[in-house]
Each structure stands twice: as C-alpha cells, then as structure tokens.
Amino acid sequence: MATTLVRALCLTLLVSGVVRTAGGQSQETPPAPPSFSSESELVVLQVTVFDRSGNAVPQLSRDVFHVVEDGTPQTITMFSGEDAPVAVGLIVDNSSSMLTRRAMVTAGVTAFAESSKPEDQAFSIVFNEHARRALPETVAFTSNPTLLQASIAAVPAGGQTALHDAVIAGLDQLATAERQKHVLVVLSDGEDNASKQSEDDMLRRANRSNALIYAVSTKRLDTSVGNERLLRKLARSTGGELYTPRTERDVVAAFAEIGSKIRQGYTIGYVPTNAAHDGTYRKLIVRALVPGMRAPVVHVRDGYVAPLHEHGR
C-alpha cells in the first residue's frame, strides 16, 4: 500500500511522508509537517520501555537502544523521544453483549479522551455485524474530545460481532492519517461471528501496518464468551498490550492508562541491511541497555513485512 503513497518509502510499516485523506473527507485537525523525510527505505518503530515495576522510563538517549533484524544488528539513523502528536482510532464493540454497558463505554472513552492534545487526530469505529465509522461522514478525524465521545454514544447497541472487519477498517483509516505515531484501541471480548474477513486477514493486516494496538478485553465481565488469546496476539505482535479488566471500573481505568502510555515512547528508525524486496516477514528484537537498570522491558512490534518488488515501480 505504501508504494502507492510514497515511492521512496515503500515499506508498508511506515507512514512518514505525504499522506492523503480518505474519500476527500474533511479533517478538523490542521495538517502538521512530517517528523522526518528520507529517500531511503526507513523502517520506523514505536518503542516503549518499562522498568521492572511497570513504570515507563523517560528521557533515554539513542545510544541505549539496539535493533536486531533477523539476527543482524542494524544502525539507528532516526530517533525521537519527544511527545509527538498521535493518530488514534477507537474500535468499540457495539453488539448485543454491550447493551447493558453503555455507561462503561462512555466513561472509558471519556477517560481516554482527557489525555488527548489539540494536535492529535482521532476517529471511532463501532461494530456489530457491520463495522461503521461513528464520526459524521464529512469528518475523517477530530481533535474534539466531546465529538469523539458523542460519536460512539450515538450508535445504538445490538446485533452480532464483526471484530476482524472492524480492526481492518481501523487500520485502513489510520493509514490516511498525517501523524507519524499510529494507535488503535480495541474494546472487545475477542469473539467474531460475522466478519467477512478472517482472523488471519486481520493479523496480516496488522503486521503490515505501523500501528500500536492496545486491546481491552471484556471477556472477564462475562465468562461465557471471549477470545483473549486472539486479542493478546493482536496487541503484542504490534508492540501494544492486552488489558484484562474484571470490573467495569477496571475497564475505565484501562482506557485512562492507555491514554497515558501512548505518549511515553520513543520513535526509532533504521535502513535495513537486507534491501531485498521479497515480501518476507522480518523478525525484530529491540533491546534497551540502560546503565544502572536491570533488564528493562521493551514493548515493540515483533517484526514487519518487507515490500514486494513491483515491476516498473
């Protein structure tokens, strides 16, 4: 997909140059200049570092990070530890199982929105057997927390569950964003009984994106249904995290914590030593060797899919 947007940056892992708005839709947030530009095939990673107590570690320098791709050390050529604007999509289960939990959803979205900044781009997708954008048709993204909250509350709950379709729709929407850091927050029990696209389709699409995916599971609110294994796989493969709250109050707290965590990371870029355009999956390991700190925990995506060479491009 990225080859159709920026020829020089043909890794689908990144969106770093000129981007476009889907369907000619308007955006409330003004465009911001890209954080960097390059004529090379730069792989961009969003990295978060935690100490052994689970606290985010701020103000680390480039030299503490080490990137290994398929066993080969890479040279970091781009680094930022600043709190950059975020493009974020809220993907919210709106099936029959959520009929009695509307207040929880509203409170969770409100807690998340309170951490937003005016430069952020946000959108919402609600799903039952259909995945639908909740913002008005003419608004692709918003920086207005009230509009974001209202967009989700306005759609009545009911029906079956198309999780796979909703996540893919969210990733497609994120790919049009102008902000460099992309995040999806998914509220679901992990079950799917209505999608046109498969679990594998969803996971492949996630691996081809540069999005961090955080999942908030509702399974433990109703133990009769749910697939936390899938939610964990989806989140961790992208460098995100799965939350497994046991009460509705815990769900709201999870949204608040995610809103804080997405601002506590680092952006790392490198040009891979393997320049082949072979469409293969490249395994990634990122380590942070921090003086005086024992084995910090690094959250980053597991890998990425290399571009596949297209004749004549």
| Cβ count near 142 (within 10 Å) | 21
| Cβ count near 55 (within 10 Å) | 10
pLDDT tens digits, residue range 238-265? 999 999 999 999 999 999 999 988 888 8
What gap in Å lies between CA 103 and CA 35, rounded to an integer? 38
Residue 31 confidence (pLDDT):
39
Burial 284-298 (b: 16+ CB within 10 A, else e): bebebebeeeeebeb
Residue 29 confidence (pLDDT):
44
Residue 92 confidence (pLDDT):
96
Burial 180-203 (b: 16+ CB within 10 A, else e): bbbbbbbbbbbbbebbebeeeebb
pLDDT < 70 stretches in the chain: 1-40, 223, 310-313
Task: Give backbone dihedrals phi and psi of 107, rounded to 5 degrees, phi first.
Answer: -65, -40
Whole-number average pLDDT of the chain: 85
Please say whether the beta carbons of 68 and 274 come within 8 A: no
Tell me, letter by letter, the H, E, C secondary structure of 51-114: CCCCCECCCCCHHHEEEEECCEEECEEEEECCCCCEEEEEEEECCHHHCCCHHHHHHHHHHHHC
What gap in Å lies between CA 9 and CA 39, rounded to an integer? 7
What gap in Å lies between CA 60 and CA 81, rounded to an integer? 7
Residue 290 confidence (pLDDT):
94
Residue 1 confidence (pLDDT):
39
pTM (2 d.p.): 0.81
Query: Which domains does the chain possess?
Result: 52-81+278-313 (no CATH), 86-261 (3.40.50.410)
